[in-house]
Amino acid sequence: MPRAVVLLGPPGAGKGTQASRLSAELGRPHVSTGDLFRENLSRGTDLGEQARGFMESGQLVPDELVLEMLFARVAAPDCRDGYLLDGFPRTQPQAEALERRLPESWETRAVLLQVADEILVERATGRLICQGCGKVHHETFAPPRAAGICDACGGRLEKRDDDRVGVVRERLEVYRRQTEPLVQFYRERGVLDVVDGSREPNLVFDDLVDLLGSEG
Ligand code: AMP
């Protein structure tokens, strides 16, 4: 089983949903830079304030801020044996910094979740996130049993501020311009797999487990 897993894909591809299930399956922590920024925002930290404007407009937070935050997170003891990255890297300098940082003996795999643009906008704009446990529901595709309440923990479901249509389209543009080139970056290193992320989440998950293995 690889030590470092990079989940690549546009907003709405299912990275967060799959990463949280995979994390349990592989016994590796799920490290999401988007979640880390949102935590900083809700705690009102300086980092959160520095990131706010970029996040609200669908732009990328500058690399220095992302790298400092990410490297502090993966220095924690739970990441000692490996981790699962969701939403990082998103630029070439981030990918290069990660490569320099990973121990040489670690196997790294990158998986691209590929999904057509029309589906992405529909998925992202209907997304409902549990404020308690982070579970992702969807207004149309995975509605909660009781409106506004998480099926898993009873927490409150909310939309992300940046999941409005205009911002999602901007995030897609940013993905194409700044992040999609990383597909080639990982392909050249011979560590890339592509999975059709437009299918039902359980099928996508089964493919990911086949590719990445399970705990042990
Ligand atoms: P996500 O939850 O991964 O969609 O991230 C939400 C927002 O956080 C993005 O639109 C960016 O503004 C910011 N962000 C998250 N990860 C990164 C990253 N690796 N590099 C730059 N900005 C990021």
CA dist 72 → 76, 91, 141, 146, 176 (Å): 7, 19, 36, 38, 28
Pocket mutation for ligand 1, best pick of 31, 61, 159 (most atoms within 8 Å of C-beta): 61
Name the closest-CA residue to atom 8, ligand 1. 34
The encoded tokens of residue 158 equal 């909310």
pTM equals: 0.93
Which tokens in the block code for residue 187? 């392909």
Would you give per-residue pLDDT tens digits along the chain (216 residues)?
Answer: 789 999 999 999 999 999 999 999 999 999 999 999 999 999 999 999 999 999 999 999 999 999 999 999 999 999 999 999 999 999 999 999 999 999 999 999 999 999 998 899 999 999 999 999 988 999 999 999 999 999 999 999 999 999 999 999 999 999 999 999 999 999 999 999 999 999 999 999 999 999 998 654
Cα four-point dihedral sign 208, 210, 212, 216:
positive
* 216 Cα: distance to centroid of ligand 1 (angstroms): 31
CA angle 169, 172, 177 (to 5 degrees): 130
Residues 6+ apart with CB under 8 A from 149: 155, 156, 157
On whether the CB atoms of residues 73 and 6 are closer than 8 A, the answer is no
Residue 55 CA to ligand 1 center (angstroms) comes to 7
